């Protein structure tokens, strides 16, 4: 880690320790509201990391430091005996044929977590850990998400450029994780996936050897965990999802439903996936083989209900709405421009073949900065008639200005050839 990064870390830690000079007491309010009122033991890690990243990001912590501090704090939290924070048992919510679910009160758990974060900050202010956590390579991400004309915003997205630091992975393979979740019937399923899916992925034995299998197991496990919560809290929502793991020079993509990801290489779109829609012939056959049907009601729907054939949640239509993710993997050659993830609010009105031209147009308008490229794409989708929530996440694999120059260069070469 360079001197500049060390100085940035020390400057941030100085302010953080000053703000949290005293530990939070049992009656002190939390600086941020936790996502849930009650959590299971296996949900503690995801909910704590989510709150910690939100807390540190709001205070402009360097992303690598934020990830490393959250990892250190949650590791200490999980060593503690949390049994005093268990919720009283509710006999009305427990049936004889189901295993007992032990719940913890979320507020005191997160109060304890923030105090652990404070202790890490105090220790690291005196001396940064040795060897200090390394900053991953800096990559420009442009993201924009709007509610559009819908009553509620039900999309969620995740950007983890410091995946290894967040989970303490030290195998020499740099990893980044990006995801877009498009909720329907409420935001609960999308929020749950955005909070827990990457945590479950990090715990898969196959992660280092077979990321596709790790992803498939992860989607099923996330759906199973959400089912327990949905039943307990009477939630009915669902969510499509697309997630990518960038590990060294390999890109692995996993998806459920009709959110999509695409790669652009030297200005040309590379299709990595086929979205799950009820009218897709193999999806229609799968549903019919299970005894279901698809019907056209404004669009094709599973058993006349959901317009997606695979999703997290939607438990009233399982197994017709499947939780089995599809995956693909591609070896990156180094000449790729960017990865684009977006929900169907974008891809229903913009064809993949149109994306490179729209990105180039956005780069030209901003002299190649790339910062607002996602805003431009969202505006294009809205102008093309999308009324849905729209989320666009662009991960630049090369410097945006170089993409603009390469286009200019090719145009010059073309004119010279004429």
Residue 96 lies in a domain: yes
Domain range spanning residue 224? 141-417
Residue 193 lies in a domain: yes
pLDDT for res 418: 34
**Up-side HSE of residue 141: CA atoms within 13 Å toward CB?**
18
Both 102 and 198 in one domain: the answer is: no
Kindly report the CATH number assigned to the domain that includes residue 170: 3.60.40.10
Give tens-digit pLDDT for 129-179.
Answer: 876 566 556 789 999 999 999 999 999 999 999 999 999 998 889 999 999
Among 126, 157, 191, give the residue marking a domain's end.
126
- Report the domain count for the chain: 2
Among 97, 126, 155, give the residue marking a domain's end.
126
pLDDT for res 406: 61
Residue 135 lies in a domain: no
Q: Which residue has the tokens 């590791």?
A: 75
pLDDT for res 9: 92
Residue 134 lies in a domain: no
pTM, 2 dp = 0.93
Local structure of 155: helix, strand or coil: strand
Q: Determine contact, residues 346/390, Cβ cutoff 8 Å.
A: yes
The least confident of 36-40, 161-165, 169-173, 217-221 is: 169-173
Q: Find the mean pLDDT for residues 82-100.
A: 71
- For residue 96, pLDDT over 60 is answered with no
Q: Find the mean pLDDT for residues 172-197.
A: 96
Residue 256 lies in a domain: yes
Q: Determine contact, residues 310/325, Cβ cutoff 8 Å.
A: yes
């Amino acid at each position: 880690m360079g001197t500049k990064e060390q100085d940035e870390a020390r400057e941030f830690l100085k302010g953080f320790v000053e703000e949290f000079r005293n530990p939070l007491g049992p009656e002190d309010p939390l600086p941020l509201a936790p996502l849930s009122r009650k959590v299971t033991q296996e949900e503690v890690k995801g909910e704590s990391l989510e709150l910690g990243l939100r807390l540190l990001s709001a205070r402009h912590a360097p992303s690598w430091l934020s990830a490393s501090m959250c990892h250190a704090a949650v590791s200490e939290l999980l060593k503690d005996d949390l049994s005093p924070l268990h919720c009283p048992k509710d006999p009305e919510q427990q049936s004889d044929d189901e295993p007992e679910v032990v719940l913890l009160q979320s507020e005191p758990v997160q109060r304890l977590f923030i105090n652990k974060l404070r202790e890490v900050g105090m220790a690291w202010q005196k001396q940064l850990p040795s060897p200090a956590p390394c900053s991953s390579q800096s990559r420009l991400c442009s993201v924009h998400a709007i509610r559009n004309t819908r009553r509620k915003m039900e999309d969620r997205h995740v950007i983890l450029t410091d995946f290894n630091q967040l989970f303490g992975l030290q195998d020499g393979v740099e990893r980044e994780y990006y995801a877009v979740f498009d909720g329907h019937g409420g935001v609960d399923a999308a929020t749950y996936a955005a909070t827990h899916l990457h945590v479950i992925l990090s715990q898969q034995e196959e992660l280092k050897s077979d990321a596709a299998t790790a992803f498939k197991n992860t989607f099923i496990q996330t759906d199973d965990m959400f089912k327990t919560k949905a039943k307990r809290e009477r939630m009915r929502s669902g969510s499509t999802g697309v997630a990518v793991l960038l590990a060294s020079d390999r890109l692995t993509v996993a998806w459920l439903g009709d959110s999509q990801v695409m790669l652009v290489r030297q200005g040309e779109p590379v299709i990595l996936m086929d979205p799950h829609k009820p009218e897709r012939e193999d999806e229609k056959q799968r549903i019919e083989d299970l005894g279901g049907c698809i019907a056209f009601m404004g669009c094709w729907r599973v058993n006349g209900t959901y317009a997606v054939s695979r999703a997290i949640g939607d438990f009233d239509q399982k197994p017709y709405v499947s939780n089995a993710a599809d995956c693909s993997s591609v070896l990156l050659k180094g000449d790729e421009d960017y990865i684009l993830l977006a929900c169907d609010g974008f891809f229903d009105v913009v064809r993949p073949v149109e994306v490179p031209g729209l990105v180039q147009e956005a780069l030209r308008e901003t002299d190649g900065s790339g910062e607002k490229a996602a805003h431009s794409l969202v505006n294009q989708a809205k102008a093309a008639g999308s009324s849905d929530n729209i989320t666009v996440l662009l991960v630049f694999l090369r410097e945006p200005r170089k993409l603009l120059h390469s286009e200019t260069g090719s145009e010059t070469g073309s004119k010279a050839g004429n």
